Structures are given as C-alpha cells and as structure tokens.
Structure 1
Amino acid sequence: MGKVKLEKALQERLSAGEKIFSPFIMAGDGGLDILPDRIKFFEENDAAVIELGIPFSDPVADGPTIQAAGSRALANGTTLAKVLDILEVTKLERAIPVVIMTYINPIIAFGVEMFAKMCAKAGVDGVIIPDLPMEEERLVAEALSRRDIAFVRLAAMTSPQERLQELAKRTEGFLYAVAVTGTTGARREHDAYVSTFLQELKTYTETPVLAGFGVSTGEQARALSEYGDGVIVGSKVVQLLHEGNLAEISQLIAESRSLKV
C-alpha cells in the first residue's frame, strides 16, 4: 500500500510503453455517496492514478471550474474526515492508487498526525499540498513518511533551477509539473516554454514527471506527454462529470493512454 503501490502502478504503465493519465475529481461534488462509483469508473477505464481533491473554502491554486465543484461539495457537507471515512470503507474494492490533493489548513485543523494516520487507514497512497512551500514541508513530511504515504511535490515554471532540482530530489511517487503560470483551468494552448521545462525536470529525477493545470484535450495531452511521462487532467474532467458526460471522459483517457513512451 501507499508509496510503493503508487510507484509500482506508474512504473508498470511506463514499462508497458504507455503514458500515464491521472484524472482529478472533487470529492463530494454530486454527493459523497457517488464517490466510490466514480473511482470505479476511472479504474475500469484504465486511468493510472486518481487525484482526489478535498473541497476547501480558499482554494488559491484552483480556477473557476474546480472552485465551483468545491463549493458544490462543501454545500453537500463534504469534509476531510467524511472523505477519509468513505475511502476506508471502500479501500478493499479498489486497486487504483489514490492521491489526495488538499490545502494545509484542513490538515492543521485535522491534526497532522491524525491526518497521516487516517490516510493510512483509508488506503491513501499519496498527498499533494499545493500551498505548502518546501521550506515548511517538515510540518507533514515526517508523519507521511512514517506511514509510507508518498509526498508528491509540485514544480513551477517560475522557480529557479536550484529549487527545481531540490523539489525533484524530494518528490515521491511522481513530480507534478505545473504547466501554466496561474491557477487550474482548461486552456486552448500552453506556453512554448513548457516543453523545455518538462525536459529539464526529466534530467533532475528518475521519478515520473506528470504535467498538470490546463490540460483539457487529447491533443494537449499528446503534446505534453511527448516531453514528460503523462498528464493530470482536472478542470475538463470535473466539468464533464458535472455534465454527466462519461463518454467524452472515456475517450480522453483512451487518447491519452495510447501515447507511446
């Protein structure tokens, strides 16, 4: 379980000559009761890993689509504790790795040690904390490490080389390459520098490098995956789930998985 499960799942995809596809879904958007079915849907459609967002009242990294999903989830009474409870009850029903994306405030409010303990009990394989700077990550890193939970770091295009190298060295599971300068959200195109950025990160780590933020089409996934190891698709998936358009999500996953290493 945990970090080993995540690393093994991603390496199996790359060894098979495939690129990695990871959907982002907002826990509680549409009701917490449907979360197990949504996880099962992505597992059946052969996604590699699920990034599961925890709704928060001040989501500084999120664009309008994911903010709206978070607001709907909060209105449904979704909390970090409730999400972990559901994941614990259903952990034996899923094989796909689950990585939680949450901000630091809910973790502090929950209690760092309790958060790590409950994540382990719930079968959570990794954690992403977008608003926790590297200099302060000791707040949670040790607690996660003791329970074999991967601490996935984010790398931004605006960071200096030395910082990117250190983030790449520290990351676990995969390195989350932020492919835009801004918040999440579907975009028509990415900055020309992104390809250079992804290639640079690949020289710093043997851990898979996944590009996220702004990926919304198979064409974009193909372009970004050419230079990295795969993509994380958030806003587009969240919007399609809200619309009930599962067919288009299946098509997007199929297009992304067909990319060759």
Structure 2
Amino acid sequence: MNRIDRKFQELKIEKKPAFIPFITAGDPELRTTRELILEFEKRGADIIELGIPFSDPIADGPIIQASYYRALMRGSKVAHVFDMVTEVRKKSEIPIVSMVSYSTVFKKGYQNFIESSLKAGLDGLTIPDLPVEENHELFEIAKKNDFKIVCFVAPTTSDHRMAMIAQQAQGFLYYISVVGITGVRDKLPDDIVQNIKKLKQMTKIPVAVGFGVSTSDHAKMISTVADGVIVGSAIMREIEKYEKEPTEKLIKCVGDFVGQLISGTKG
C-alpha cells in the first residue's frame, strides 16, 4: 500500500487531520532539507510536500519563487533531490509528495520519472501546470505502480469539472483555498468551508487544503472540515529568515514554527 493511503487510513481511525508542510528541496541546501524533513516528522507532520526547484513556477508566489531561485543558484537538480530523498528513507517512512513542473516530468518521460521517483522513495506528485484532461497516460502509469498523482481544485473550478477531477484524483485532492498564487495571507476566503464541504461530497478520497494557509488559527479552522492542512509559504519565509544562522538554529526555529501549526491543526 502506498504510504499516502496508509497515513490517511491511520489518521481516519484517530479522527485527526493530516498536517502537510511544503519545503523547497535545496533551500538553503539539500542537507538542511533532509534534516528539516526529519525534524518536521518528529514534531508530528504527517506528509511532506517537497518542491523540486524550477525556473518558472506557474502557481507559486514570491516567497517560494525566491526559494526556488536560491536552490537553483546553488546547483540543485532533480537527480540531487532524488538522492536526498533516498537518504531520508534510511531514517524515515513519512510519505513524501513532490511538487514538480510538467516540463520536468515530460522531459524525463512519464515511465522513467515515476520509476526514478519510486526508486528514490517518493510516493506521489503534484503537477500544478498539467490539466487533468491531458494526463491520462501519466495517470495510468502511476496507477499501475501504486504511485499517486495529486490533483488540484480551485475556488473557480466549475461543479462539473470539480466532479470530473474528484473521480480521477489519487492519494488526496489538493483544494486551493484562494484565487491566485501561493503566499502568506492574513485572512482566508469566507466561502472556504462551504467549498470544502461541497468537494468532499463528490469524492471518498481525502481533501487537503493549501495556498494562503499561514497561521495556526487558519490551520485550526480548516481542520474542522478538511482531511489535511498544507502550509508552504509561511514555512519557507521562516527558513529564509534563519538561512544565515547556524544550521542547528535554523532547524530548531523552523521546527518550533511548524510545531505551532501542527498544534493548531491537531487541536
């Protein structure tokens, strides 16, 4: 069984939502990324979303874009990210989903990319620039390998298309809480709870919410209706804040911040 499915089954029994931190691979360096993943797991994170740096990300705001730039300038490549995940797997079985550009997957080839991902120890992909209507071949290859392709649903998605995406989704559905790009927000949309409830009526797989989730209060509110809470930009902002400090301090301070978000999520 895929680690993502197993984790959500465990959390369903415990009646707890998943906390899913996003982290850019290679910012400030891959060795630190590895240690942060392990630290987040110690703090109670359930699944890791690992951003593979790309020069022109389609959905990410300035904080994550800047982290991608820093990682790329330090020489982070897909093969290096896979090697880092392999190192994590020597110490941890936490589910890891990579967020990756479609061009990266296409260039390597669907079968090859999925096989390399599995060999490294990844459990799934999120591909924000690949419409669900255009990824049948990728879905079929992933399904045969028990590898999950996580789909996105936005507030602007029509009910008809939302139902179609919900039927094809694997692992969990990623509900984008705001219109626009990732980033830290003070306030989430007023209709977010209603939209999550509507989406959950269309599918039996878990629904996790990201984009704009920035505080423990946000996490607490979302966890009352969703199966998972995803936080990215707020965590990467903390990493950027401490990137010039000793690695031990960065890991502790960012770990403390993530611990607060987990406390809000788990109640």
After superposition, the C-alpha distances for 1:135-184 in whole angstroms (9 at most, x for unaligned) are 11124222222221111111111111111011111111111000000000
% same residue:
38
> Which has the higher mean CA deviation after the structures are superposed, 5-14 or 173-182?
5-14
Alignment check: 8 A CA contact 1:187 1:214 kept: yes
Helix, strand or coil at the partner of 2:122: coil
CA–CA distance in 1 between the matches of 2:87 and 2:38?
Answer: 14
Q: How does 1:106-255 map to 2 (within 5 A)?
A: 106-243=104-241, 244=250, 245-246=253-254, 247-255=256-264
Helix, strand or coil at the partner of 1:198: helix
Partner of 2:245: none
1:35 shift after superposition: 2.2
CA–CA distance in 1 between the matches of 2:197 and 2:155?
Answer: 12
Amino acid at match of 1:83: V
> 1:257 and 2:266 equivalent?
yes
CA–CA distance in 2 between the matches of 1:20 and 1:214?
Answer: 17
CA–CA distance in 1 between the matches of 2:141 and 2:205?
Answer: 21
Segments of structure 2 that go 5 or more residues without pairing to the other structure are 242-249
Give the 4+ runs in structure 1 shifted more than 6 A: none
Alignment check: 8 A CA contact 1:62 1:184 kept: yes
CA–CA distance in 1 between the matches of 2:116 and 2:22?
Answer: 21
CA–CA distance in 1 between the matches of 2:194 and 2:88?
Answer: 41
Normalising by structure 2, report the TM-score: 0.92
Aligned length: 256
Amino acid at match of 1:141: F
Helix, strand or coil at the partner of 1:256: helix
1:254 shift after superposition: 2.0
Partner of 1:35: 33
Alignment check: 8 A CA contact 1:53 1:101 kept: yes
What RMSD over aligned residues (CA atoms) do the two structures have, in Å?
1.3
CA–CA distance in 2 between the matches of 1:238 and 1:157?
Answer: 24
CA–CA distance in 2 between the matches of 1:193 and 1:146?
Answer: 37
Amino acid at match of 1:140: L
Alignment check: 8 A CA contact 2:24 2:67 kept: yes
Q: How does 1:59-138 map to 2 (within 5 A)?
A: 59-138=57-136
Segments of structure 1 that go 5 or more residues without pairing to the other structure are none
Alignment check: 8 A CA contact 1:52 1:99 kept: yes
Amino acid at match of 2:79: A
Amino acid at match of 1:56: F
CA–CA distance in 2 between the matches of 1:108 and 1:89?
Answer: 25
> Which has the higher mean CA deviation after the structures are superposed, 238-247 or 161-170?
238-247
> Which has the higher mean CA deviation after the structures are superposed, 127-136 or 4-13?
4-13
CA–CA distance in 2 between the matches of 1:79 and 1:139?
Answer: 25
Alignment check: 8 A CA contact 1:240 1:249 kept: no
1:255 shift after superposition: 2.1
Partner of 2:46: 48
Partner of 2:15: 17
Amino acid at match of 1:97: P
> Which has the higher mean CA deviation after the structures are superposed, 21-30 or 139-148?
139-148
After superposition, the C-alpha distances for 1:64-102 in whole angstroms (9 at most, x for unaligned) are 100011101101111112111221243232111000100
